[in-house]
Chain A
């Protein structure tokens, strides 16, 4: 693992992040409307609006606004929310653990479900467990997240009353959101695991292991699965990014005060700094995760180590 490789990847990631910040800044500028009238309310006058815009620095030329944002961001200060005047970094820091927890639990659930189903399917290739498992996986991949969320809420919170309905009180509030994302993602993982396992199971060394008379379980786990894992890990890593985005819908439906929700309310309230801050943070997490996965992957797969 060459240092040069890691450094290059870091620089590339950094470049991407700058690009993302620019992109979101420009995008927000293009969105019609500004937060000023939203704050001032029904009895606002044009002159009040102008005064507030000046106070918020919204009438400055674009490049100055961008520069101010970025110079703060690089120091870790994401500025203040236009609407609440509270520090954005604090806001995000407070909510971030929640979104990440949901994402992590979801990763856990989907890995367990996905890998088990995938392995089962691969072992019973072309027999009914295979078809059943793959049908289940397909259903997971094809379901709309908001629909699944509603149905789970109906079953577990309303009908059975096992879990809280909404809001965040303790770990139990995170079960349904994580389950929703986990079931959806489990489908993806299951399909990938199955195909990876099938590829590996055909290999000679597996046949050898079987011929040697080793117990089936040993063959499957010690030999086959370990080799099948690699693309699965990659997928899990990439999936994390989409989990951060998918948390948006579950956070809305289950009223979890996470980071994704900040972004949505930010856009609808035209709280530009807030949206910029959240998108930047999400992009950082996504890029770093990908970077980590890449590095792990190259550690594990000697073939690309010497690129």
Chain B
């Protein structure tokens, strides 16, 4: 597989894969923000994975006598309206949020990139696909997601699908723009001349070179997907109780906003920090993947 480093101008600079990765990592390390982001992401993913082992209480265990207790020694982050330990629920919620983010981005990414590759490579498909994408983008995202969930029924899975579908447009556009740029480069023409099949050209030559912005987009949309799913759960359309999903917890917290500040603050804080981590990571990746792009969006 030939990887060429994109430099923003119409040149190519072949790079060896291993050395390339090393360069990227080196750049990445220099960026403190990126490291913090990576740290946050690793933190949340780990607590999600290790949830059953590290959570101090059973997140589903109700203790009505203990409901709406402020943070204390036994319950570091307090309890909810059923007396369940908030910290344990937030820890288990990390697992849910991670899953949601990954699945939604997978749907958006696979769908969007495929469409983008097609649109960028074949001019005939371009018009049709881009009109559909414009359509998708003209539709207010939240309403579209609500509509999809209304059709499919409220559940976490359907939320992932809805958020994923909503994200397709972005991936498609970015991919297509990159494909349009790369398509004109000499090595692609060379591949044509050599008689390679379209599929081979796309997969072996074009795709590797458009990956960089897509990877950045993945980290950024991981964050926005988590936010979107939380918003849907906040409206009651996502995770169903008693699942400890962060957005749903904030929805429940609304009824107690003056009695139990911790219930409103901590789940929201968790969402924010996790999304922040992905955003910082995304920024760092983007800066590292092309130093010259460091100062551009």
Contact = CB atoms under 8 A, between A and B. Distances in A.
A270 B297 CA distance: 41
Contacts of B247: 144
A40 interface: no
Interface in B131-174: 131-132, 134-135, 137-143, 146-148, 150-151
Interface in B11-49: 33
Contacts, number: 130
Interface in A261-307: 263-264, 267, 275, 279, 282-283, 286-287
B131 A147 contact: no
Nearest to B271: A144
A114 to B, nearest CB: 13
Interface in B204-261: 223, 227, 230-231, 234-235, 247, 250, 254, 257-258, 261
B296 interface: yes
Given A28-B147, A244-B140, A249-B142, A16 B131 contact: yes
Contact of A146 (B134, B141, B234, B261): B234
Contact of A245 (B141, B151, B234, B254): B141
Contacts of A15: 131
Contact of A145 (B134, B151, B231, B254): B231
Nearest to B264: A150
Nearest to B269: A147
Interface residues of B, number: 43
A283 B279 contact: no
Contact of A138 (B231, B268, B276): B276
Contacts of B147: 24, 27-28, 31, 267
A264 B237 CA distance: 12
Contacts of B276: 138-139, 142
Contact of A147 (B146, B235, B271): B271
Nearest to A125: B295
Which size bracket describes the interface of A in this complex? 35 or more
Contacts of A202: 295
A83 interface: no
Nearest to B137: A241
Interface of A: 12, 15-17, 19-20, 23-24, 27-28, 30-32, 131, 134-135, 138-139, 141-147, 150-151, 154, 158, 191-192, 195-196, 198-199, 202, 231, 241-242, 244-246, 248-249, 252, 260, 263-264, 267, 275, 279, 282-283, 286-287
Interface of B: 33, 131-132, 134-135, 137-143, 146-148, 150-151, 223, 227, 230-231, 234-235, 247, 250, 254, 257-258, 261, 264-265, 268, 271-273, 275-276, 279-280, 283, 295-297
15 contacts: A19-B135, A30-B151, A144-B271, A145-B231, A147-B268, A150-B257, A244-B140, A248-B140, A248-B142, A248-B143, A249-B142, A249-B234, A267-B146, A279-B140, A286-B138
List the 3 closest pairs (A to B, CB-CB), nearest first.
Answer: A147-B268, A245-B140, A142-B275
